């Protein structure tokens, strides 16, 4: 949706309820634009750069949603969680109604950067194996690491139930038992299985970067933030070349 659009349709597109519910919000004087209360759902607005206020909460218009969440430990990346609360419970109702989906998943005990979007094309570009989108993990290991283990992770290791070797695109030992690992794949429990393959064990796992985006330093666990949906066209195969989007 671009250009001049009715206020009721704008609210509906942003996830504020059914069309009837959106009309009700407007008719009740709960929606304002540019500090002016709007009570006519048919009134039209340009959507580019539009900022609404609904029930007193500011809401920027986004044709497609892309957000970053600082995932805390103890949350499942599922809308039907089995053992822990869902990460979707950390999002406001309009985003949940828009049916945003996690871009990949993190284990319940893994923390850090988690993307959500309702843009199917962007989801495909970020998750398709052929695009080689880099993910960076900060790993705390049970045992002290040595140069040999890091080298094996870079060269490739064979997992117990997968004959195809997997390797880290980058691997840096940053403390005796801490590792920064860059992966271009997204296999099930991949980091934990790779560390097990070199005789170590993951004690804590945190994702700090995904593709072009780094987790904002001022985003606390459980908080979320809008991101721009434009991503550089080049594949992010090298960690060192990853551009950083500033936090909005």
Residues belonging to the active site: 107
Task: Establish how many alpha carbons lie within 13 A of residue 98's alpha carbon, considering only the half-sphere containing its beta carbon.
Answer: 27
Q: How many residues does the chain have?
A: 248
**CA-to-CA distance for 127 and 122, rounded, in angstroms?**
9
Residue found by looking up tokens 């029930």 in the block = 55
CA 56 to chain CA centroid, Å, is 26
Q: How far is CA 19 from CA 14, 26, 30, 95, 119, in A?
A: 11, 11, 15, 16, 22
Q: What are the helix (H) ranges across the chain?
A: 7-13, 19-27, 93-97, 120-127, 147-155, 190-197
Do the bridges between strand 111-117 and strand 202-210 make them parallel or antiparallel, or are there none, so unpaired? parallel
Q: Which of 5, 46, 34, 35 is nearest to 22 (CA)?
A: 5
């Amino acid at each position: 949706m671009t250009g001049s659009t009715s206020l009721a349709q704008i609210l509906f597109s942003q996830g504020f309820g059914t069309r009837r519910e959106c009309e009700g919000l407007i008719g009740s004087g709960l929606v304002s634009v540019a500090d002016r209360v709007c009570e006519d759902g048919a009134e039209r607005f340009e959507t580019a750069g539009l900022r609404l206020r609904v029930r007193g909460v500011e809401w920027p218009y986004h044709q497609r949603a892309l957000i970053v969440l600082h995932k805390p430990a103890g949350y499942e990346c599922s809308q039907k969680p089995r053992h822990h609360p869902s990460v979707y419970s950390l999002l406001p109702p309009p985003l949940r109604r828009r049916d945003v989906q996690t871009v990949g998943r993190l284990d319940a005990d893994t923390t850090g950067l988690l993307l959500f979007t309702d843009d199917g094309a962007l989801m495909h570009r970020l998750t398709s194996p052929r695009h080689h989108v880099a993910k960076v993990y900060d790993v705390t290991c049970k045992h002290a690491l040595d140069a040999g283990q890091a080298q094996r992770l870079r060269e490739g290791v064979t997992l117990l139930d997968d004959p195809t070797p997997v390797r880290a695109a980058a691997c840096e030992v940053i403390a005796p038992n801490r590792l920064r690992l860059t992966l271009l794949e997204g296999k099930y429990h991949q980091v934990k299985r790779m560390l097990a393959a070199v005789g170590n064990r993951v004690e804590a796992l945190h994702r700090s970067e995904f593709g072009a985006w780094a987790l904002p330093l001022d985003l606390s666990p459980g908080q979320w933030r809008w991101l721009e949906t434009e991503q550089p066209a080049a594949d992010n195969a090298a960690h060192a070349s990853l551009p950083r989007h500033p936090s909005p």
